[in-house]
Amino acid sequence: MGHGELRGVVALDGPSGTGKSSAARGLAALLGARYLDTGAMYRAAALAVLRAGVDPHDPVAVTGTARRALLVQSTDPANSTTRLDGVDVGAEIRGPEVTLAVSPVSATAGVRELLVAEQRRIIAEAVEQAGGIVVEGRDIGTVVAPDAPLKVYLTADAEARARRRTKQDNDSGRATTVERTLADVTRRDDYDSTRQVSPLRPAADAVELDTTPLDLAGTLDALLAMVEERGLRHERVTG
Ligand SMILES: Nc1ncnc2c1ncn2[C@@H]1O[C@H](COP(=O)(O)OP(=O)(O)OP(=O)(O)O)[C@@H](O)[C@H]1O
Ligand SMILES: Nc1ccn([C@H]2C[C@H](O)[C@@H](COP(=O)(O)O)O2)c(=O)n1
């Protein structure tokens, strides 16, 4: 039996490596919905900053660079692409230089203002065209889509997250170790949750889901049950 279609917005937030991207992409694919990776947008802005030779800690220069950059994030769960100034930067934005620069860049108020407006535009367009969208990031339930009918905050032990991310990086040819990844995951969590603008935290009405003991299929089952329970799944209209 199929899973039907999603109506409305599902917001997935949480620290790095909790499985947001994999779960959001999988859920959107199962429910014929769109998928938005907001982290990729902040990463593309960080890449623009690095390419411009700008200091990622200089808010005025960073905001100016982000304004001039042409960022296009697709919402196809089967092919989620990120383009910067007309070129696909999907691989480059996962590299260590961008991963280091993205924390200060995403903590810049001017960048957030710009990207949140674009994310809201993309969400409205997706709901109009496809009926539903699964959006993942750090501030989706609190800032970008506070009216989303389902907000989920994913968590997992830091070590489990570091092991997952290390495997993912090594499988993609980016050699690393669990120790190095754990240090990076912890650094980004601290930065994201203590920054002044839109710090990482669950929305008051978010459902928390600890994915430590789950695999991706288990996470998807739990999310599908929540979608069903909220009445957000509708039968597919055919013919
Ligand atoms: N229970 C689980 N749920 C989802 N993903 C899992 C789970 N267990 C392991 N993984 C794996 O963990 C890795 C990291 O997941 P993913 O990139 O989706 O995390 P994330 O929260 O989006 O991280 P980031 O915020 O840093 O981008 C993936 O390779 C994914 O397949
Ligand atoms: N809505 C968002 C999404 C992401 N960020 C920041 C925080 C992360 O360190 C960075 C990269 O995200 P990832 O690709 O690891 O999900 O971008 C944010 O501040 N708000």
pLDDT average, residue stretch 8-14: 97
What mean pLDDT is predicted for residues 222-227?
Answer: 97
| 19 belongs to an annotated ligand binding site | yes
Per-residue pLDDT reduced to its tens digit, 70-94: 999 999 999 999 999 999 999 999 9
Q: Mean pLDDT score of the chain, rounded to an integer?
A: 94
Beta-bridge partners for 11: 135, 151
Ligand 2, atom 12: closest residue by C-alpha: 39
Asked if residue 40 lies in contact with residue 174, where contact means CB atoms within 8 angstroms, the answer is no
The residue-averaged pLDDT of 49-61 equals 98
Q: Which of 111, 138, 137, 115 is nearest to 56 (CA)?
A: 111
Q: Confirm or reject: Cβ of 181 under 6 Å from ligand 1.
A: no
Q: Which atom of ligand 1 is nearest to the CA of 136?
A: 22
Going from the C-alpha of 101 to that of each of 54, 136, 148, 173, 210, the distances in angstroms are: 11, 20, 30, 21, 28
Cα first-last separation, the chain: 18
Question: What is the residue type of 89?
Answer: V
Residue nearest to atom 10 of ligand 2 (CA): 39
β-pair type (34-37, 132-137)? parallel
In this prediction, residues 219-232 reach a mean pLDDT of: 97
Q: How does pLDDT run across 97-108, given as a tens digit for each residue?
A: 999 999 999 999
Q: Does position 2 have pLDDT exceeding 70, yes or no?
A: no
Identify any residues that bridge with 134 across adjacent strands, giving them in sequence order. 10, 35
Of the bound ligands, which one is closest to the alpha carbon of residue 42? 2
Mean pLDDT for 103-120 is 97
Q: Are 25 and 77 in contact (CB under 8 A)?
A: yes
In order of their start, the domains of the chain are: 8-228 (3.40.50.300)
Protein residue with least CA distance to atom 1, ligand 1: 215
Sheet holding 132-137, edge to edge: 34-37, 132-137, 8-13, 150-155, 207-210
Band (pLDDT 50/70/90 cuts) for residue 4 is confident
Of 126, 163, 158, give the one whose Cα is nearest residue 145: 126
Label residue 1 by pLDDT band (50, 70, 90).
very low
Do the Cβ atoms of 154 and 18 come closer than 8 Å?
Answer: yes
Stronger pLDDT, 218 or 17, i.e. the higher one: 218
The length of the chain in residues reads 239
User: Is 149 annotated to bind ligand?
Assistant: no
- C-alpha to C-alpha distance for 119 and 41, rounded to whole angstroms: 9
Nearest to 18 by CA among 137, 156, 139: 156
Percent of the chain predicted with pLDDT > 90: 85
Tens digit of each residue's pLDDT (9 = 90 or more) over 155-188: 999 999 999 999 988 998 888 899 999 998 998 8
Q: Is 16 annotated as a binding residue?
A: yes
Q: Give 237's pLDDT tier (boundaries 50, 70, 90).
A: low
Contact 56, 101 (CB under 8 A): yes
Using the CB atoms, write b or e for 82-99: b if 16+ within 10 Å.
bebeeeebbebbbeeebb
ipTM: 0.96
pTM: 0.95
